[in-house]
Amino acid sequence: MAATTTAAPSTAAFWAQAEEHLVRYGGEFTREIIDRAAGSFVFTADGRKILDFTSGQMSAILGHSHPRIVATVQQQVARLDHLYSGMLSRPVVDLARRLADTLPAPLTKTLLLTTGAESNEAALRMAKLVTGRHEVVSFARSWHGMTQAAASATYSAGRKGYGPAAPGNFAIPVPNAYRPDITAADGTLDWRRQLDLAFDLIDAQSTGSLAACLVEPILSSGGIIEPPAGYFAALQAKCRERGMLLILDEAQTGLCRTGTWYAFERDGVVPDILTLSKTLGAGLPLAAVVTSEAIEQEAYERGFLFFTTHVADPLVAAVGNTVLDVLAEDRLDERARRLGTFLRAGLTDLAARHPVVGDIRGRGLLAGLELVVDRETKQTSDALGAQVTRRCLDLGLHMNIVQLPGMGGVFRIAPPLTATEDELALGLTILDQAIGEACTNH
């Protein structure tokens, strides 16, 4: 029997149908029916206007329905949408070339895919093939995706109940300056000693088959944790000593989000393999693996295989080219720095007036705010975080709280790079009110 569509159901019927027919895939659904989105806002079916402080799923860096993206999709889908995976089109080659132009040498070779998980899967597969090894090191609060190798390198959630992960995956501690585990005499994080101890443990567990280290320059799902300056150079040295490839996952930090085109620029390191997604498609499914000519050649000679249905699709590649156009023409790296300074000042003001704000961190327009019950003990509160999140939504602000046990007091703030100061100010005002009311009632 053919599927049919009918008039839009009532709100009650909508949620009844959602409950009956949808698989739940993580947390609870936001109890709003989203009808459309434009710029920095989403609009509900009942007419509410909600400021989007998460850029969709941390992806819509140009805001929702950006006119240039809309025009590109309309034109490209009418001309060339999808091809056999072995065929090439001009948008694909153009995007690969232009990505290389934004990156330091020797990152010149690109594989275009759809999601961050898929790009990390391909990067790990390439690293294992090229090195002839299989062991992978990642941060203990990492998130790299839900496919097999990516999920096996993910430690912030999702490991229990699914059987064995891929063999040879190891976690190292996160260099969290706000919650230091290994400290210097003055109580600050001694990240060098932490890193040395971490690799002592890796060496003790390794079977001699270390292939790669896969990490985020700023851990996002792990709570917007930015390793200290110098950390990634030291981590890269650890990799070099062991013949490992360094893979940086810039799904959320890449393409101007942090105030530079790539977050790794701050640290003066160049990864062996870079993975991109989210921001590259500005909300559409586009991802990339970028590596050197030498690594690509070695992988090719060894028979590298990553043949997927939507590899090198022309439609989303055309969107990626438009994203690069807008980022460059509108100087959104500079804008992210300027707006990031404005946002940081506003969050700092909140911290001065609300004792429950324990820490503010991040870079550019990727900010983290951690709520605590007590600033001295730094005790977090999932309940307080959930309460503030709900109140923000009531007041017209969508916030993303880290939805992990014991980490539910950390907000991930990532408005579109196209947001205005007035929109950021509106978000800060709503957040201020929500925190104030929560503290009164908590």
Residues labelled catalytic = 143, 216, 249, 252, 278, 412
Question: 């027919």: which residue's tokens?
Answer: 21
Q: Would you mind telling me the total number of residues written for the chain in this entry?
A: 442
SS3 at position 39: strand
Taking the C-alpha atoms of residue 347 and residue 428, their distance in angstroms, rounded to an integer, is 7
Taking the C-alpha atoms of residue 364 and residue 33, their distance in angstroms, rounded to an integer, is 31
Any idea what DSSP says for residue 157? S
List Cα–Cα distances, 170 to 121, 145, 215, 373, 399, in angstroms: 16, 16, 12, 32, 32
Contact in structure between 108 and 93 (CB atoms under 8 Å): no
Contact in structure between 417 and 72 (CB atoms under 8 Å): no
Neighbours of 74 (CB within 10 A): 10
Backbone angles phi, psi at 4, to 5 degrees: -125, 155
CA angle in degrees (0–180, nearest 5) for 99-101-107: 70
Q: Which residues contact 3 (CB under 8 A, 6 or more apart)?
A: none
Question: 């999709």: which residue's tokens?
Answer: 73
